[in-house]
Structure 1
Amino acid sequence: MRARPSGRGGAVPVTVPAAVHRALLERAAAGGASPFMVLHAALAALLSRLGAGDDLVVGTPVAGRPDEALAGLVGFFVNTLALRTDTSGDPDLTTLLARVREADLAALAHQELPFEQVVSAVSPPRHPARHPLFQVMLALDNTPAPRATLDGLTVRRDTATGRTGAKFDLTWDLAERHTADGAPAGISGELEYSEDLFDQATAERYAAQFTTLLTALLDRPDTPFTDLPFLGTRDRAAALDENGPTRPPATPDWTLSDVLTTRAAADPGRTAVVDATGRLTFGELQD
């Protein structure tokens, strides 16, 4: 019997401080890119550091209104793009952002092509437990919230609609915030996760690691992303045995995959397995 997703999901908050938001906008402008592209580069770097490889596909929703004639037309035109990113060669942010920009612009140039036709043309191996082209999605809302004015009525926006599940393995759903005078006030949102694959503690680590790595990339844009920190203090100490015999035991929610991924990210050259034929490092074991 083949595994099938249950659709159950949860979410944890994602927060990017105002100072990092400001640096992100400056880096985007310097690279001729959009804020979304900087976030996409950071997410691709994080997925690589977590062991997803260096040929990554991330999905994103697009408005589906490339023609100005459609701008005022009522209807649902949203489409889904599959964005492919190459993180090989340990690039720094400047190099990685250039790659992301080129690939994202190429995809956006064909955003009107229905997603179903892309799947049909690529014809990937199908499995009921996963989506065919990507399992991770990134969405960024950078449009001002609508303000409805109706005579005799008080209107407010209510986003507390309740969670119905998870459509993908992981979804970073983010939104830019600005002050009244337009200054960057941070990026906030949530990381939605499939409960078939992840628990809340793991999702919280991924959310924190995303902000940590994004901050490091913006602080040191000329440093290879594989040399930048992304682990929290506790995770790094556990991975490097820095707490010695007094370190707290791994929390019950940790899986073997969590331990191996954390160790490989923190100390990839350390020996993990030895047998009569040789040895494997944590980095090699993760690959």
Structure 2
Amino acid sequence: MSGIASRRLLAALVTAAVAAVGALVAGAAPAHAAPTGYLLLKGTGSVYTSNGIVNLGVTPGSSKTWGLKVVNTGSTAQQFKITITSNSPLLTTTLLAGSAAVQAPYYTAPIAPGRSVSLSLKMLVAAGAPAAEYVGSIGLRDPETNTFLDSGSADANATYQTGNTRHDLFVKTGSQPLVGGSVGQFETATALKPGNTASFTVRLRNDGGSPTAIGVSGGTSFDCPADWSIVIKQGTKDVTAAVRGATYSTGVLAPGAKVELKASIKLLHATTCTAAYVGFTGSAADGTVTSYAHVVTGV
């Protein structure tokens, strides 16, 4: 055998040996353990919810902050990947770890089994933005394979607390601004534990140019109605039946005049439902509008 042939044979043997060792090493490497976990959200208050959406009223030019919690349900310490996307260039999202802004996608430190890590999402609606919904979508994913694990939506309902129709209907809870008016919007109360009650103001206002009476209907839950009690009052007068029966009327309101109702929504007991939407529709001869009191269960 010539020297050149010998060297070629030796090189082929070395290449085969290296490939075999590589195959052994690759075969010995442990498979990636896919993380298991879920995402919780928090709007106002201190209680998180497993419901996938939390709506907060936001005045354009200002910001609101949603709390996020990532829970590891696996048997070993696991990392998670968090992604943030928005539905509008008029919405600026900032993911925060403590008080420090962090870049998304964000990779958590390893979380021990059964433990969690808390973050927050600050969302700024641009000044002058139309009254609409601006959504920050949160994705929880496997950091290596990008496999979807869970998601949530931080929903900023941009509001100027004004309207331009004769049948404007606004909804608010706590210290949040009025949402709705001439457009349909949503506002979420602090998450409820069994026995807790959320209070909402439902404001009917004539923002048109001539007198009118505003009718109000709705006031029922679209989700698990047996789990909630709903009482609607005008002052001390219980008008629940009238609103639910679509027979309630404000009486004639001059332009700029308003009437307010109070809606108390109580979570009666533990439930598998994570939320309820309670819609209120304001109507006059020239149209209708519906906005929603949104209640979520806490964990």
Where is the helix percentage greater, Structure 1 or Structure 2? Answer: 1
Relative to its length, the structure with more strand (as a share) is 2
Tell me the TM-score normalized by structure 2.
Answer: 0.24
What TM-score results when the alignment is normalised by the length of structure 1?
0.24
Higher relative contact order (CA 8 A, sep 6+): 1
